[in-house]
Chains A and B, each alone.
Chain A
Amino acid sequence: MDDVWRERLSEYLDGELSAEECRACERHLEACPACAAVLTDLRNVVARAQRLEDRPPVRDLWAEVADRVRAPAQVPRRRRIAFSVPQLLAASLALIVVSAGTAWLTMSLGRDATPSGAVTLEAEQPVAVFAALPGFDAAVADLERVLEERRNQLDPATVRVLDENLAVIDKAIGEAYAALVRDPASQYLSEHLADTMWQKVRLLRWAAEFAVAAT
Protein backbone atom coordinates (compact mmCIF):
# COMPACT_ATOMS: atom_id res chain seq x y z
CA MET A 1 0.00 0.00 0.00
CA ASP A 2 2.86 2.39 0.88
CA ASP A 3 4.53 1.82 -2.48
CA VAL A 4 1.26 2.51 -4.29
CA TRP A 5 1.02 6.01 -2.86
CA ARG A 6 4.71 6.79 -3.09
CA GLU A 7 4.68 6.21 -6.82
CA ARG A 8 1.65 8.49 -7.16
CA LEU A 9 2.94 11.42 -5.17
CA SER A 10 3.95 13.27 -8.32
CA GLU A 11 0.39 12.87 -9.62
CA TYR A 12 -0.91 14.18 -6.30
CA LEU A 13 1.41 17.17 -6.53
CA ASP A 14 0.36 17.84 -10.12
CA GLY A 15 -3.33 17.77 -9.18
CA GLU A 16 -3.99 14.73 -11.36
CA LEU A 17 -5.74 12.62 -8.74
CA SER A 18 -9.48 12.52 -8.35
CA ALA A 19 -10.99 14.10 -5.26
CA GLU A 20 -11.41 10.70 -3.63
CA GLU A 21 -7.86 9.67 -4.43
CA CYS A 22 -6.61 12.98 -2.99
CA ARG A 23 -8.39 12.30 0.26
CA ALA A 24 -7.01 8.77 0.40
CA CYS A 25 -3.52 10.00 -0.39
CA GLU A 26 -3.71 12.66 2.28
CA ARG A 27 -4.90 10.12 4.84
CA HIS A 28 -1.92 7.97 3.94
CA LEU A 29 0.48 10.91 4.20
CA GLU A 30 -0.75 11.60 7.71
CA ALA A 31 0.25 8.09 8.68
CA CYS A 32 3.42 7.64 6.62
CA PRO A 33 6.39 9.87 7.49
CA ALA A 34 8.47 8.41 4.66
CA CYS A 35 5.98 9.38 1.97
CA ALA A 36 5.43 12.75 3.63
CA ALA A 37 9.17 13.39 3.42
CA VAL A 38 9.22 12.46 -0.27
CA LEU A 39 6.33 14.83 -0.90
CA THR A 40 8.16 17.64 0.90
CA ASP A 41 11.20 17.04 -1.29
CA LEU A 42 9.08 17.09 -4.43
CA ARG A 43 7.45 20.35 -3.34
CA ASN A 44 10.89 21.87 -2.81
CA VAL A 45 11.88 20.78 -6.29
CA VAL A 46 8.83 22.44 -7.79
CA ALA A 47 9.50 25.62 -5.83
CA ARG A 48 13.07 25.75 -7.12
CA ALA A 49 11.86 25.17 -10.66
CA GLN A 50 9.32 27.97 -10.39
CA ARG A 51 12.07 30.36 -9.33
CA LEU A 52 13.96 29.38 -12.50
CA GLU A 53 11.15 30.94 -14.58
CA ASP A 54 12.39 34.36 -13.53
CA ARG A 55 15.45 34.02 -15.72
CA PRO A 56 16.51 36.86 -18.04
CA PRO A 57 14.74 37.16 -21.40
CA VAL A 58 15.49 34.77 -24.27
CA ARG A 59 17.55 37.15 -26.39
CA ASP A 60 20.17 37.59 -23.67
CA LEU A 61 21.01 33.91 -24.08
CA TRP A 62 21.11 33.85 -27.87
CA ALA A 63 24.85 34.24 -28.29
CA GLU A 64 25.51 31.20 -26.15
CA VAL A 65 22.72 29.29 -27.82
CA ALA A 66 23.94 30.20 -31.30
CA ASP A 67 27.31 28.69 -30.44
CA ARG A 68 25.64 25.46 -29.41
CA VAL A 69 23.54 25.42 -32.56
CA ARG A 70 26.61 25.86 -34.70
CA ALA A 71 28.42 23.04 -32.86
CA PRO A 72 28.40 19.67 -34.63
CA ALA A 73 25.14 17.88 -34.03
CA GLN A 74 25.41 15.24 -31.39
CA VAL A 75 22.72 12.68 -31.09
CA PRO A 76 22.34 11.77 -27.42
CA ARG A 77 23.65 8.27 -26.91
CA ARG A 78 21.20 5.75 -25.68
CA ARG A 79 22.08 4.32 -22.31
CA ARG A 80 20.75 1.54 -20.22
CA ILE A 81 18.26 2.24 -17.49
CA ALA A 82 17.10 1.43 -13.89
CA PHE A 83 15.74 3.30 -10.70
CA SER A 84 15.72 3.95 -7.01
CA VAL A 85 13.34 6.38 -5.35
CA PRO A 86 16.09 8.83 -4.33
CA GLN A 87 17.49 8.75 -7.84
CA LEU A 88 14.03 9.12 -9.28
CA LEU A 89 13.62 12.13 -7.06
CA ALA A 90 16.89 13.56 -8.35
CA ALA A 91 15.77 12.87 -11.88
CA SER A 92 12.45 14.51 -11.14
CA LEU A 93 14.37 17.59 -10.06
CA ALA A 94 16.13 17.77 -13.40
CA LEU A 95 12.90 16.80 -15.10
CA ILE A 96 10.94 19.59 -13.51
CA VAL A 97 13.72 22.02 -14.35
CA VAL A 98 13.49 20.92 -17.96
CA SER A 99 9.72 21.13 -17.99
CA ALA A 100 9.72 24.58 -16.41
CA GLY A 101 12.27 25.78 -18.94
CA THR A 102 10.36 24.28 -21.82
CA ALA A 103 7.05 25.65 -20.62
CA TRP A 104 8.58 29.10 -20.26
CA LEU A 105 10.03 28.78 -23.73
CA THR A 106 6.71 27.76 -25.23
CA MET A 107 4.79 30.54 -23.54
CA SER A 108 7.22 33.15 -24.85
CA LEU A 109 6.35 32.30 -28.45
CA GLY A 110 3.49 34.28 -29.92
CA ARG A 111 1.31 33.56 -32.90
CA ASP A 112 -0.91 35.85 -34.89
CA ALA A 113 -4.22 35.05 -36.56
CA THR A 114 -4.64 36.07 -40.19
CA PRO A 115 -7.68 37.08 -42.17
CA SER A 116 -9.74 34.31 -43.68
CA GLY A 117 -8.20 32.87 -46.87
CA ALA A 118 -4.92 34.75 -46.43
CA VAL A 119 -1.86 32.89 -45.27
CA THR A 120 1.06 34.73 -43.78
CA LEU A 121 4.35 33.15 -43.02
CA GLU A 122 5.34 34.17 -39.55
CA ALA A 123 8.50 36.14 -39.01
CA GLU A 124 10.89 33.64 -37.47
CA GLN A 125 12.54 34.75 -34.26
CA PRO A 126 15.57 33.03 -32.81
CA VAL A 127 14.52 30.93 -29.89
CA ALA A 128 16.78 29.70 -27.13
CA VAL A 129 15.47 26.14 -27.01
CA PHE A 130 18.95 25.06 -26.13
CA ALA A 131 18.72 27.06 -22.97
CA ALA A 132 16.84 23.97 -21.78
CA LEU A 133 19.42 21.56 -23.18
CA PRO A 134 21.69 21.38 -20.11
CA GLY A 135 18.70 20.46 -17.99
CA PHE A 136 17.59 17.89 -20.55
CA ASP A 137 20.98 16.20 -20.60
CA ALA A 138 21.01 16.00 -16.82
CA ALA A 139 17.45 14.69 -16.64
CA VAL A 140 18.06 12.01 -19.25
CA ALA A 141 21.36 11.00 -17.70
CA ASP A 142 19.79 10.66 -14.26
CA LEU A 143 16.80 8.71 -15.52
CA GLU A 144 18.93 6.40 -17.63
CA ARG A 145 21.30 5.76 -14.76
CA VAL A 146 18.52 4.99 -12.35
CA LEU A 147 16.80 2.73 -14.85
CA GLU A 148 20.08 0.90 -15.47
CA GLU A 149 20.32 0.13 -11.79
CA ARG A 150 16.81 -1.29 -11.83
CA ARG A 151 17.22 -3.04 -15.14
CA ASN A 152 16.67 -6.45 -13.61
CA GLN A 153 13.30 -5.37 -12.27
CA LEU A 154 11.98 -5.09 -15.80
CA ASP A 155 11.50 -8.09 -18.02
CA PRO A 156 13.82 -8.34 -21.04
CA ALA A 157 10.99 -7.89 -23.53
CA THR A 158 10.01 -4.57 -21.95
CA VAL A 159 13.61 -3.39 -21.90
CA ARG A 160 13.99 -4.30 -25.56
CA VAL A 161 10.85 -2.37 -26.56
CA LEU A 162 11.98 0.62 -24.51
CA ASP A 163 15.44 0.54 -26.08
CA GLU A 164 14.00 0.29 -29.59
CA ASN A 165 11.65 3.18 -29.06
CA LEU A 166 14.19 5.35 -27.33
CA ALA A 167 16.29 4.81 -30.45
CA VAL A 168 13.33 5.98 -32.55
CA ILE A 169 13.06 9.12 -30.45
CA ASP A 170 16.81 9.68 -30.51
CA LYS A 171 16.74 9.47 -34.29
CA ALA A 172 13.93 12.01 -34.40
CA ILE A 173 15.87 14.28 -32.04
CA GLY A 174 18.92 14.00 -34.27
CA GLU A 175 16.93 14.85 -37.37
CA ALA A 176 15.28 17.82 -35.72
CA TYR A 177 18.61 19.00 -34.34
CA ALA A 178 20.26 18.78 -37.76
CA ALA A 179 17.38 20.68 -39.33
CA LEU A 180 17.65 23.40 -36.68
CA VAL A 181 21.37 23.75 -37.30
CA ARG A 182 20.55 24.45 -40.95
CA ASP A 183 17.72 26.81 -40.06
CA PRO A 184 18.39 28.21 -36.59
CA ALA A 185 15.79 30.94 -37.03
CA SER A 186 12.96 28.42 -37.29
CA GLN A 187 10.53 28.73 -34.41
CA TYR A 188 8.82 25.49 -35.45
CA LEU A 189 12.05 23.51 -35.45
CA SER A 190 12.98 24.88 -32.05
CA GLU A 191 9.61 23.89 -30.63
CA HIS A 192 9.62 20.53 -32.36
CA LEU A 193 13.06 19.69 -31.05
CA ALA A 194 12.05 20.66 -27.53
CA ASP A 195 8.82 18.62 -27.81
CA THR A 196 10.69 15.55 -29.03
CA MET A 197 13.27 15.83 -26.28
CA TRP A 198 10.46 16.16 -23.77
CA GLN A 199 8.84 13.04 -25.19
CA LYS A 200 12.03 11.13 -24.49
CA VAL A 201 12.06 12.36 -20.93
CA ARG A 202 8.40 11.36 -20.47
CA LEU A 203 9.10 7.85 -21.74
CA LEU A 204 12.12 7.47 -19.49
CA ARG A 205 10.18 8.82 -16.55
CA TRP A 206 7.31 6.41 -17.16
CA ALA A 207 9.76 3.51 -17.46
CA ALA A 208 11.45 4.59 -14.26
CA GLU A 209 8.19 4.75 -12.34
CA PHE A 210 7.23 1.34 -13.68
CA ALA A 211 10.57 -0.13 -12.65
CA VAL A 212 10.21 1.30 -9.16
CA ALA A 213 6.69 -0.09 -8.90
CA ALA A 214 8.00 -3.48 -9.99
CA THR A 215 10.35 -3.73 -6.99
Chain B
Amino acid sequence: MLVSVLTAVVLAAPAVQQIDTVIPVGDRARLRVHAVSAEVTVRMWNRSEVRIVAQRQGREEFAIGGSRSTIQVESMTPFGTDNRIDITAPATLGLEIEGAFVSADIEGVRADVRVVSAHGELRLVGGAGLVKLQTVQGNVECRGARGRIEVGTTNGELSVVDVDGAVVAETVNGPVTLTGIASDAVEATSVNGDITYRGTFRDGGRYAFGAHNGNVNVFVPAGTDADVLVSQFSGEFESDFPITLTGTRSPAKRFNFTIGNGGARIELSSFGGTIRLRRP
Protein backbone atom coordinates (compact mmCIF):
# COMPACT_ATOMS: atom_id res chain seq x y z
CA MET B 1 0.00 0.00 0.00
CA LEU B 2 2.73 2.44 0.96
CA VAL B 3 4.63 1.81 -2.24
CA SER B 4 1.47 2.46 -4.24
CA VAL B 5 0.89 5.77 -2.45
CA LEU B 6 4.46 6.90 -3.01
CA THR B 7 4.27 5.97 -6.67
CA ALA B 8 1.08 7.98 -7.07
CA VAL B 9 2.70 11.01 -5.41
CA VAL B 10 5.72 10.83 -7.72
CA LEU B 11 3.55 10.59 -10.82
CA ALA B 12 1.43 13.55 -9.73
CA ALA B 13 4.44 15.76 -9.12
CA PRO B 14 5.02 18.15 -12.03
CA ALA B 15 7.93 17.16 -14.24
CA VAL B 16 10.61 19.81 -14.50
CA GLN B 17 12.20 19.98 -17.88
CA GLN B 18 15.41 21.94 -18.32
CA ILE B 19 15.56 23.82 -21.59
CA ASP B 20 18.92 24.88 -22.88
CA THR B 21 18.89 25.82 -26.54
CA VAL B 22 21.36 27.62 -28.75
CA ILE B 23 20.04 29.10 -31.97
CA PRO B 24 22.14 30.72 -34.71
CA VAL B 25 20.99 34.18 -35.74
CA GLY B 26 21.83 36.60 -38.49
CA ASP B 27 22.80 40.22 -38.22
CA ARG B 28 20.11 42.59 -36.89
CA ALA B 29 17.99 39.72 -35.71
CA ARG B 30 15.15 40.19 -33.23
CA LEU B 31 14.09 38.22 -30.21
CA ARG B 32 10.48 38.27 -29.03
CA VAL B 33 9.61 36.88 -25.64
CA HIS B 34 6.00 36.57 -24.57
CA ALA B 35 5.42 35.17 -21.11
CA VAL B 36 2.56 35.07 -18.67
CA SER B 37 4.92 35.16 -15.74
CA ALA B 38 8.70 35.20 -15.89
CA GLU B 39 11.89 36.82 -14.79
CA VAL B 40 13.76 37.43 -17.98
CA THR B 41 17.47 38.07 -17.88
CA VAL B 42 19.38 39.07 -21.00
CA ARG B 43 23.13 39.28 -21.27
CA MET B 44 25.40 39.63 -24.27
CA TRP B 45 28.20 37.64 -25.87
CA ASN B 46 30.30 37.83 -29.00
CA ARG B 47 28.61 35.00 -30.85
CA SER B 48 26.03 35.01 -33.63
CA GLU B 49 23.83 32.77 -31.56
CA VAL B 50 21.11 33.09 -28.98
CA ARG B 51 21.14 30.82 -25.97
CA ILE B 52 17.91 30.31 -24.09
CA VAL B 53 17.91 28.62 -20.72
CA ALA B 54 14.65 27.99 -18.92
CA GLN B 55 12.76 25.43 -16.95
CA ARG B 56 9.47 24.12 -18.07
CA GLN B 57 7.25 22.85 -15.31
CA GLY B 58 4.64 20.21 -15.83
CA ARG B 59 2.50 20.72 -18.88
CA GLU B 60 2.87 24.48 -19.18
CA GLU B 61 3.40 25.48 -22.73
CA PHE B 62 6.86 26.65 -23.60
CA ALA B 63 7.79 27.12 -27.22
CA ILE B 64 10.77 28.43 -29.09
CA GLY B 65 10.49 29.09 -32.76
CA GLY B 66 11.22 31.47 -35.59
CA SER B 67 14.06 31.94 -37.99
CA ARG B 68 17.56 33.38 -38.15
CA SER B 69 16.06 36.86 -38.27
CA THR B 70 13.33 36.50 -35.67
CA ILE B 71 13.27 34.20 -32.67
CA GLN B 72 10.11 33.83 -30.64
CA VAL B 73 9.83 32.46 -27.14
CA GLU B 74 6.42 31.75 -25.66
CA SER B 75 6.01 30.77 -22.03
CA MET B 76 2.63 30.12 -20.49
CA THR B 77 3.90 29.35 -17.00
CA PRO B 78 1.29 30.87 -14.72
CA PHE B 79 1.85 33.41 -12.03
CA GLY B 80 3.01 31.95 -8.76
CA THR B 81 5.40 29.52 -10.35
CA ASP B 82 9.08 30.29 -10.26
CA ASN B 83 9.98 30.88 -13.88
CA ARG B 84 13.28 32.19 -15.11
CA ILE B 85 14.27 32.70 -18.69
CA ASP B 86 17.96 33.43 -19.13
CA ILE B 87 19.03 34.63 -22.53
CA THR B 88 22.50 35.22 -23.87
CA ALA B 89 22.64 36.95 -27.21
CA PRO B 90 24.67 39.16 -29.52
CA ALA B 91 24.56 42.84 -28.58
CA THR B 92 22.91 43.80 -31.86
CA LEU B 93 19.84 41.65 -31.18
CA GLY B 94 16.65 43.70 -31.00
CA LEU B 95 14.52 42.75 -28.03
CA GLU B 96 10.79 42.65 -27.44
CA ILE B 97 9.61 41.29 -24.11
CA GLU B 98 6.05 41.41 -22.90
CA GLY B 99 3.78 39.74 -20.45
CA ALA B 100 1.48 40.15 -17.51
CA PHE B 101 3.89 39.30 -14.70
CA VAL B 102 7.22 39.89 -16.37
CA SER B 103 10.34 41.42 -14.92
CA ALA B 104 13.27 42.08 -17.16
CA ASP B 105 16.94 42.63 -16.44
CA ILE B 106 18.87 43.47 -19.60
CA GLU B 107 22.49 44.46 -19.92
CA GLY B 108 24.72 45.31 -22.83
CA VAL B 109 22.30 45.41 -25.74
CA ARG B 110 23.03 47.84 -28.58
CA ALA B 111 19.72 47.65 -30.42
CA ASP B 112 16.03 48.48 -30.07
CA VAL B 113 14.48 47.36 -26.82
CA ARG B 114 10.79 47.17 -26.05
CA VAL B 115 9.55 45.76 -22.75
CA VAL B 116 5.90 45.93 -21.74
CA SER B 117 4.61 44.38 -18.55
CA ALA B 118 1.67 44.72 -16.21
CA HIS B 119 3.57 43.78 -13.07
CA GLY B 120 7.31 43.74 -13.02
CA GLU B 121 10.58 45.49 -12.37
CA LEU B 122 12.26 46.62 -15.55
CA ARG B 123 15.97 47.28 -15.70
CA LEU B 124 17.94 48.09 -18.81
CA VAL B 125 21.60 48.93 -19.16
CA GLY B 126 22.18 49.79 -22.76
CA GLY B 127 19.78 50.04 -25.61
CA ALA B 128 20.13 51.94 -28.86
CA GLY B 129 17.54 53.29 -31.25
CA LEU B 130 14.01 52.92 -29.98
CA VAL B 131 13.93 52.09 -26.29
CA LYS B 132 10.58 51.62 -24.60
CA LEU B 133 10.11 50.30 -21.09
CA GLN B 134 6.62 50.29 -19.67
CA THR B 135 4.89 48.65 -16.77
CA VAL B 136 1.81 49.23 -14.68
CA GLN B 137 3.10 48.14 -11.30
CA GLY B 138 6.85 48.28 -10.78
CA ASN B 139 9.96 50.39 -11.00
CA VAL B 140 11.73 51.16 -14.23
CA GLU B 141 15.44 51.87 -14.57
CA CYS B 142 17.09 52.80 -17.83
CA ARG B 143 20.80 53.43 -17.93
CA GLY B 144 23.18 54.17 -20.76
CA ALA B 145 20.66 54.15 -23.60
CA ARG B 146 21.14 56.01 -26.88
CA GLY B 147 18.36 57.12 -29.16
CA ARG B 148 14.73 57.70 -28.35
CA ILE B 149 13.87 56.61 -24.84
CA GLU B 150 10.35 56.20 -23.50
CA VAL B 151 9.88 54.95 -19.96
CA GLY B 152 6.67 54.71 -18.05
CA THR B 153 5.06 53.19 -15.04
CA THR B 154 1.73 53.74 -13.40
CA ASN B 155 2.73 52.79 -9.87
CA GLY B 156 6.45 52.95 -9.34
CA GLU B 157 9.68 54.88 -9.66
CA LEU B 158 11.29 55.94 -12.90
CA SER B 159 15.03 56.33 -13.07
CA VAL B 160 16.84 57.35 -16.24
CA VAL B 161 20.60 57.68 -15.99
CA ASP B 162 23.35 58.63 -18.41
CA VAL B 163 21.31 58.50 -21.60
CA ASP B 164 21.82 60.34 -24.83
CA GLY B 165 18.72 61.12 -26.85
CA ALA B 166 15.11 62.21 -26.61
CA VAL B 167 13.50 61.17 -23.34
CA VAL B 168 9.85 60.79 -22.43
CA ALA B 169 9.19 59.69 -18.86
CA GLU B 170 5.73 59.39 -17.40
CA THR B 171 4.30 58.03 -14.20
CA VAL B 172 1.09 58.47 -12.29
CA ASN B 173 2.11 57.51 -8.78
CA GLY B 174 5.81 57.77 -8.24
CA PRO B 175 8.91 59.92 -8.66
CA VAL B 176 10.81 60.54 -11.85
CA THR B 177 14.57 60.95 -11.56
CA LEU B 178 16.60 61.91 -14.62
CA THR B 179 20.35 62.11 -14.12
CA GLY B 180 23.21 62.59 -16.52
CA ILE B 181 20.89 63.32 -19.44
CA ALA B 182 22.38 64.52 -22.72
CA SER B 183 19.44 65.52 -24.85
CA ASP B 184 17.68 68.29 -26.69
CA ALA B 185 14.21 66.95 -25.94
CA VAL B 186 13.08 65.83 -22.52
CA GLU B 187 9.56 65.46 -21.20
CA ALA B 188 8.81 64.19 -17.72
CA THR B 189 5.42 64.07 -16.07
CA SER B 190 3.96 62.70 -12.90
CA VAL B 191 0.59 63.10 -11.26
CA ASN B 192 1.64 62.19 -7.73
CA GLY B 193 5.41 62.26 -7.59
CA ASP B 194 8.44 64.49 -7.62
CA ILE B 195 10.44 65.12 -10.75
CA THR B 196 14.18 65.69 -10.55
CA TYR B 197 16.40 66.54 -13.51
CA ARG B 198 20.14 66.78 -13.81
CA GLY B 199 21.36 67.10 -17.34
CA THR B 200 22.17 69.34 -20.23
CA PHE B 201 20.12 72.17 -21.63
CA ARG B 202 21.09 72.58 -25.24
CA ASP B 203 20.46 75.64 -27.34
CA GLY B 204 17.18 75.13 -29.17
CA GLY B 205 16.26 72.17 -27.00
CA ARG B 206 12.92 71.76 -25.22
CA TYR B 207 12.64 70.49 -21.69
CA ALA B 208 9.26 70.10 -20.03
CA PHE B 209 8.75 68.92 -16.47
CA GLY B 210 5.24 68.80 -15.04
CA ALA B 211 3.56 67.40 -11.98
CA HIS B 212 0.16 67.72 -10.43
CA ASN B 213 0.91 66.94 -6.77
CA GLY B 214 4.65 66.76 -6.84
CA ASN B 215 7.70 68.94 -6.61
CA VAL B 216 9.79 69.77 -9.65
CA ASN B 217 13.52 70.04 -8.98
CA VAL B 218 15.72 71.07 -11.87
CA PHE B 219 19.46 71.57 -11.64
CA VAL B 220 20.88 73.97 -14.22
CA PRO B 221 24.58 73.61 -15.15
CA ALA B 222 26.81 76.65 -15.19
CA GLY B 223 26.87 78.41 -18.54
CA THR B 224 23.33 77.41 -19.49
CA ASP B 225 21.39 79.77 -21.71
CA ALA B 226 17.68 79.18 -21.37
CA ASP B 227 14.22 80.69 -21.48
CA VAL B 228 12.25 79.44 -18.51
CA LEU B 229 8.48 79.27 -18.18
CA VAL B 230 7.08 78.54 -14.74
CA SER B 231 3.44 77.61 -14.18
CA GLN B 232 1.78 76.87 -10.88
CA PHE B 233 -1.60 76.93 -9.19
CA SER B 234 -0.46 76.68 -5.58
CA GLY B 235 2.93 75.86 -4.10
CA GLU B 236 6.17 77.76 -3.91
CA PHE B 237 8.80 78.71 -6.44
CA GLU B 238 12.43 78.70 -5.37
CA SER B 239 15.33 79.75 -7.52
CA ASP B 240 19.07 80.05 -7.17
CA PHE B 241 18.89 82.48 -10.09
CA PRO B 242 18.00 86.14 -9.44
CA ILE B 243 14.71 87.11 -11.01
CA THR B 244 12.56 90.20 -10.81
CA LEU B 245 8.84 89.66 -10.68
CA THR B 246 6.70 92.29 -12.39
CA GLY B 247 3.05 92.63 -13.18
CA THR B 248 0.06 91.29 -11.28
CA ARG B 249 -0.77 87.80 -10.21
CA SER B 250 -3.81 85.76 -10.92
CA PRO B 251 -4.68 82.87 -8.60
CA ALA B 252 -2.78 80.65 -10.99
CA LYS B 253 0.79 81.82 -11.51
CA ARG B 254 2.62 81.78 -14.78
CA PHE B 255 5.74 83.72 -15.47
CA ASN B 256 8.85 83.46 -17.55
CA PHE B 257 12.39 84.68 -17.42
CA THR B 258 15.73 84.16 -19.11
CA ILE B 259 18.94 82.60 -17.86
CA GLY B 260 22.05 83.84 -19.60
CA ASN B 261 21.32 84.62 -23.24
CA GLY B 262 18.37 82.32 -23.62
CA GLY B 263 18.20 79.51 -26.12
CA ALA B 264 17.03 76.30 -24.49
CA ARG B 265 13.36 76.26 -23.57
CA ILE B 266 12.58 75.01 -20.07
CA GLU B 267 8.98 74.58 -18.95
CA LEU B 268 8.39 73.89 -15.28
CA SER B 269 4.90 73.27 -13.99
CA SER B 270 3.32 71.92 -10.85
CA PHE B 271 -0.29 72.33 -9.86
CA GLY B 272 0.25 71.92 -6.13
CA GLY B 273 3.94 71.30 -5.55
CA THR B 274 7.08 73.38 -5.18
CA ILE B 275 9.20 74.21 -8.18
CA ARG B 276 12.92 74.56 -7.54
CA LEU B 277 15.49 75.81 -10.00
CA ARG B 278 18.92 75.05 -8.66
CA ARG B 279 22.55 75.40 -9.57
CA PRO B 280 24.37 72.05 -9.34
> Chain A interface (Cβ within 8 Å of chain B)?
4, 16-18, 20-21, 24, 111-122, 124, 154-155, 157-158, 161-162, 164-165, 168-169, 172, 175-176, 179, 182-183, 185-189, 191-192, 195-196, 199, 202-203, 206-207, 210, 213-214
Contact = CB atoms under 8 A, between A and B. Distances in A.
Nearest to B257: A119
Interface residues of B, number: 58
A151 to B, nearest CB: 13
Contacts of B130: 16-18
B81 interface: no
Contacts of A114: 256-258
B257 A186 contact: no
Interface of B: 28, 30, 32, 70, 79, 94, 98, 100-101, 112, 116, 118-119, 129-130, 134, 136-137, 154-155, 170, 172-173, 189, 191-192, 210, 212-213, 227, 229, 231-233, 242-262, 269, 271-272
A164 B245 contact: no
Tell me the interface secondary structure of chain A in the complex: helix
Contacts of B254: 121-122, 124, 186-188
B192 A157 contact: no
B250 A124 contact: yes
- Shortest Cβ-Cβ A-B pairs, 6 listed: A121-B247, A188-B231, A186-B252, A172-B212, A116-B258, A158-B118
B142 to A, nearest CB: 17
A179 B213 CA distance: 14
B119 A157 contact: yes
A175 B273 CA distance: 13
Contacts of A185: 250
Contacts of A16: 130
Given A4-B32, A111-B229, A199 B262 contact: no
Contacts of A168: 172-173, 191-192
B191 A121 contact: no
